[in-house]
């Protein structure tokens, strides 16, 4: 990772090469887009937004050429660059300006919610759009219909209601993963251990946690697609703080890394995500990390 970060920082051409190549490869393995976003974030955090413009132009050109060479469609690369890189450019600029992991994370969540609101402004009711899109796929439609008959729940309608929130949370995940990885690379080069210290001290504050909790409760109990779509990125935000608590307590108690790995694997279970969110809320009032350090 350190050698890749040094290569990216050598100049706009090197950063653009990593960003464009990773973006193209992400078609085969989507998480690779995090490397692409991280390359953009690292360059912006190091050199600033204005000096990064040539790198961005080269990156878009490179992504378009690679997309044309691999898929035969240059426009696909340009569109992918706009979709994935515009959010990371904005939040990386916020992190460079504020030097605050909390504010840059909140700005990323705000972008995800903006995606939700924009979807409703353009499509009216995105649920209708997603339902039509799902029904247009015969194989998927048949599979969901069979599952509905077996479980008694209309999975197609349920998924259509959640699709906008899932899309917004996906944007949040890809952008935040790239931002954090880029910040980690920056710390490796100029401030060893800096990202770890920033993450384990990640705190949103009582007022933010209370507001997030209120919006989540109202969103989920509203039963509407808009309520779910807004609540889902906020649950992701609570999960980030909860994981910061886990990392902070693990560092204070010197727990083995296998425990952290187990926690991340357990996040695949929805009930564990709820527990992590509860942990974030408890920490806001009782400062579990400080208690772990004192003990």
Q: Give the pLDDT confidence of 240-260 residue by residue, as tens digits.
A: 999 999 999 999 999 999 999
The verdict on 187 and 209 lying in the same domain is no
Same domain, 58 and 162: yes
On whether residue 196 sits in a domain, the answer given is no
Domain shared by 90 and 165, yes or no:
yes
218 plus 269 within the same structural domain: yes
Confidence band for 73, pLDDT divided at 50, 70 and 90:
confident
Q: Could you give the percent of the chain with pLDDT greater than 90? A: 73
Number of domains present in the structure of the chain:
2
pTM: 0.92
Is the pLDDT assigned to residue 152 strictly greater than 70?
no
Verify that 187 and 90 share a domain, yes or no. Answer: yes
Asked whether residue 155 carries a pLDDT value surpassing 60, the answer given is yes
Query: What mean pLDDT is reported for the chain?
Result: 90
What is the Cβ-side half-sphere exposure of residue 138, based on CA atoms within 13 angstroms?
0
pLDDT band at 151 (very low <50, low <70, confident <90, very high): low
Q: Are residues 69 and 173 in the same domain?
A: yes
Q: For 89-126, how does the pLDDT look when each residue is reduced to its tens digit (9 = 90+)?
A: 999 999 999 999 999 999 999 999 999 999 999 888 88
Largest CA-CA distance found in the chain, in angstroms, rounded: 61
Confidence bin at 136 (pLDDT 50/70/90): confident
User: Are 242 and 177 members of one domain?
Assistant: no
Q: What is the mean pLDDT of residues 227-245?
A: 95
What confidence score (pLDDT) does residue 150 get? 53
Query: CA–CA separation, 206 vs 283, rounded Å?
Result: 9
């Amino acid at each position: 990772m350190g050698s890749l970060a040094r290569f990216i920082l050598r100049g706009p051409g090197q950063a653009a090469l990593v960003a464009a190549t990773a973006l193209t490869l992400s078609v085969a393995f989507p998480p690779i887009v995090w490397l692409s976003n991280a390359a953009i974030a690292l360059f912006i955090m190091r050199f600033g937004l204005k000096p990064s413009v040539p790198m961005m132009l080269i990156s878009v050109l490179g992504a378009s050429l690679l997309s044309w060479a691999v898929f035969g469609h240059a426009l696909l690369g340009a569109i992918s660059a706009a979709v994935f890189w515009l959010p990371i450019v904005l939040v990386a600029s916020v992190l460079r300006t504020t030097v605050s992991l909390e504010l840059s994370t909140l700005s990323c969540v705000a972008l995800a919610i903006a995606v939700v609101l924009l979807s409703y402004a353009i499509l009216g009711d995105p649920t209708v759009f997603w339902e039509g899109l799902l029904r247009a796929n015969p194989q998927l439609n048949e599979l969901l219909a069979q599952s509905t008959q077996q479980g008694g729940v209309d999975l197609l309608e349920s998924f259509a209601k959640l699709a906008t929130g899932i899309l917004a949370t996906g944007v949040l995940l890809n952008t935040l993963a790239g931002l954090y990885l880029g910040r980690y690379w920056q710390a490796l080069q100029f401030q060893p251990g800096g990202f770890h210290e920033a993450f384990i001290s990640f705190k949103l504050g009582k007022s933010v946690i209370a507001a997030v909790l209120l919006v989540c409760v109202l969103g989920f109990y509203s039963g509407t697609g808009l309520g779910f779509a807004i609540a889902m990125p906020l649950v992701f935000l609570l999960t980030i703080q909860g994981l910061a608590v886990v990392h902070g307590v693990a560092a204070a108690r010197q727990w083995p890394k296998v425990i952290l790995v187990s926690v991340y694997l357990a996040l695949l279970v929805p009930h564990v995500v709820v527990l992590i969110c509860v942990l974030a809320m408890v920490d806001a009032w009782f400062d579990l990390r400080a208690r772990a350090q004192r003990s």
